Chains A and B, each alone.
Chain A
Amino acid sequence: MPVMNIIQAVNDALRLQMRLDPRTVVLGEDVGKFGGVFRATSGLYEEFGGDRVIDTPLAEAGIIGTAIGMALYGLRPVPEIQFGDFIFPAFDQIVNELAKFRYRSGGQYPCPVIIRTPVGGGIRGGHYHSQSPEALFIHTPGLKVIAPSNPYDAKGLLLACLRQNDPVLFMEPKRIYRASKGEVPEGDYTLELGKLAVTRPGTQITLIAWSGMVSIAEEAAAKAEAAGISVEVLDLRSLMPFDIDGILASVKKTGRCVIVHEAPKTCGFGAELIASIQERAMEHLEAPITRVCGFDTPFPYTLEHEYMPNADRVLGAIRQTLEW
């Protein structure tokens, strides 16, 4: 099985689907001859031409607005928003239009637009190249939000997104775009949306993470294990819908839980997870569920290493939860 990084896995999924389905088109800024600023669409222009790998004018509202019209007409557009931080000019098109088309038309107009965008910090990008805006979109009925953490999941989840009929925000962890490597099957496979992965089984505490924070959680779990603490790590993968059964199965077993996310703490997705867990598993909890998150500040430039959750902070939260 070939080893790929996340960029290569995304690229492989796009190429595979475009070969299978002539309705699939890619559009965005610099996605054509250049292959995207992160090279996720590299080689697609050469294989499929400018009609299917479309360099758009520089306007996110136009990228998403036209992608909506393409999808309504019968194409399967996969727009790329160059950085998640640049998605906000398209916020109205995503929140008020894309997410609501099926509902507001009484089911007449499904709108399968799969928006790919890199998210997260750790690349010295300051607050316009580092944000993790998932909570805003999870809070938007009608959208699915997918956040893979590794190449295998990225390919299988992206292919699954491209073969279903709801709009999706597909968030790619840019810090580990190339650093995360793993075996990826060459051919076709899909992973079910809405299912988490237990990336590390354990018994004493559940660690929930997604996207770029899964590797941080893994690192913390390894450190904890060295200290004799058995940690179960859950990679959520799918944020909307999220795998409540998988979460509950783990938390009921361990009785303790720490949630790690890069986005600001207040009203971050961790808050919803805690509410959902305590509603259903209060009697199993041995300690309050804690969070290790980004702060409620804009994402800083020079001090990003202090802003972002790291393994030591997660380990601290694990100890605190166990000692409660």
Chain B
Amino acid sequence: MVAVQAQDDLRRVLDDEGRVLPGARVPDVADDVLRNIFDKMTLVRVMDDRMMRLQRQGRLGFYMKSIGEEATHFATAPLRASDWVYPSYREQGAWFYRGYTIKQFVDQLFGNANDPVKGRQMPVHHSANWLNLVSISSPVGTQIPQAVGSAYAAKIMGKDDVSMVYFGEGTSSTGEFHVGMNFAGVWKAPCVFICRNNGWAISVPREKQTAAKTFASKAVGYGMPGIRVDGNDILAVLQVAQEAIDRARAGDGPTLIEALTYRVQGHSSSDDPSVYRDPKEPEIWEKRDPLNRMRNYLTHRGLWDQAWEQGLIDRYNQEITDALAASDATPPPPVETMFDDVYEEMPWHIREQKAWLMAQARTKSPHHHG
């Protein structure tokens, strides 16, 4: 069976071919912003392709692609630099758009000595406090109340920063979703919730996560607006994100955005969707590909040409190649760094354990691909 989700009340600006729908209100987005988004969307696709191939070659331990969902990453585009983003684990475009570099991204994947998180987490668990992109956690939904806390803190401190938090539709089943949404509603916290409804939580379809017709409808119970948007329509995503950010910044409280999209490939490099879903389902969604739709739209608007896109692909491929070469030449973090950052100052028992380990023979990593 091919799952077809309800299309009613879905905010769309572009049709599946990237043409503006009759009567649609086109958001006012500057040409250079649109080109920058297309640029970073292209980077995500090049990066995903390269990293998944490395993973398949056994050179990278783990990876998570976002093919087909890239437009949702750019709900962050209307944010200011001082606003905070609590990502889930499939928003690479948000990282690049805010300034995370290819080298930082690759260094994190390989957990080398230059990794911004010092080799402490699995691939794709980035953290960049200089960009207000908060450290990623694997247990789903934990970031939701945290984002609400940051949003409310801004309000308490008299600042007008907004927090935006991402999660998948499966995460709406967690207690943390309920708790976070409820606190945000009560506090009128300046927080924007982005539910990436990509249809699948690993192997479990969205129908098994909720009996509600839509995820956006859950907002009603928390006293906030819920908006459903075509998550593969970049203009619609930018439009609803801007509206929600404006509401939050104006002091009118939080918004839940359900971005309807589709996980075209597996959950992660460890997943095999052929076991649990109809192979025809991704084919339907490939026709709604967000990059193709954006390319078509930019072409209509005179902002795209083949040479530009090919230039981006070539440049990013080269930068990734360079970053991989640099990573290959970079050692893992020194063993003694394992004991840093548990506390601000190292307590005696960790000092003692560190000294003990340093006196042992070094153990060779079975995983290090140096």
Contact = CB atoms under 8 A, between A and B. Distances in A.
Given A103-B342, A106-B120, A244-B349, 6 more contacts: A66-B180, A66-B183, A72-B149, A97-B137, A144-B343, A166-B344
Contact of A106 (B118, B147, B347): B118
Contact of A67 (B149, B186, B340, B342): B149
A324 interface: no
A62 to B, nearest CB: 4
A139 to B, nearest CB: 12
B341 A107 contact: yes
Interface of B: 84, 86, 115-118, 120-121, 125, 127-129, 134-135, 137, 139, 142, 144-154, 156-157, 163, 175-176, 179-180, 182-183, 186, 340-344, 347-349
B136 to A, nearest CB: 9
A141 B342 contact: yes
Contact of A57 (B115, B144, B182): B182
Contacts, number: 145
A103 B346 CA distance: 12
A66 B342 contact: no
A106 B156 contact: no
B127 A65 contact: no
A175 to B, nearest CB: 29
A70 B149 contact: yes
A131 to B, nearest CB: 21
Q: Which 9 A-B pairs have the closest CB atoms?
A: A69-B149, A65-B145, A66-B149, A106-B117, A62-B179, A241-B347, A69-B146, A105-B135, A73-B153
Given A57-B182, A66-B146, A68-B146, A89 B153 contact: no
A243 B76 CA distance: 48
9 contacts: A61-B175, A66-B183, A92-B142, A97-B137, A97-B146, A104-B117, A106-B117, A107-B341, A108-B129
A293 to B, nearest CB: 22
A61 B129 contact: no
Given A62-B180, A73-B84, A104-B127, A164 B348 contact: no
A104 B149 contact: no
Contact of B116 (A71, A108, A245): A108
B127 A105 contact: yes
Contacts of B139: 92, 96
A107 B163 CA distance: 21
Nearest to A113: B149
Interface of A: 23, 25, 51-52, 56-57, 59, 61-62, 64-75, 77, 89, 92-93, 96-97, 101-110, 141-142, 144, 164-166, 194, 240-241, 244-245
Given A92-B142, A97-B142, A108-B129, A65 B176 contact: yes
B114 to A, nearest CB: 11
A244 B350 CA distance: 13
B118 A166 contact: no
A288 to B, nearest CB: 23
A108 B175 contact: no
B157 A65 contact: no
Contacts of B163: 69
A177 B157 CA distance: 33
Contacts of A75: 153, 156-157
B156 to A, nearest CB: 5
Nearest to B126: A105
Contact of B341 (A71, A89, A106): A106
A108 to B, nearest CB: 4
B116 A96 contact: no
A241 B348 contact: yes
B142 A106 contact: no
B127 A108 contact: yes
Contacts of B142: 65, 92-93, 96-97
B156 A52 contact: yes
Contacts of B146: 65-66, 68-69, 72, 97
B158 to A, nearest CB: 9
A25 B154 CA distance: 13
A102 B149 contact: no
B348 A56 contact: no
B348 A107 contact: no
A166 B147 CA distance: 20
Contacts of B180: 62, 65-66
B118 A107 contact: yes
A241 B349 contact: yes
B183 A56 contact: yes
Which of B117, B128, B343 lies at the interface centre, i.e. has the most chain A CB atoms within 10 A of its CB? B343
Contacts of A69: 86, 145-153, 163
Given A69-B149, A75-B156, A104 B175 contact: no
A109 B150 contact: no
Nearest to A61: B179
Contacts of A110: 344
A279 to B, nearest CB: 10
Nearest to A141: B342
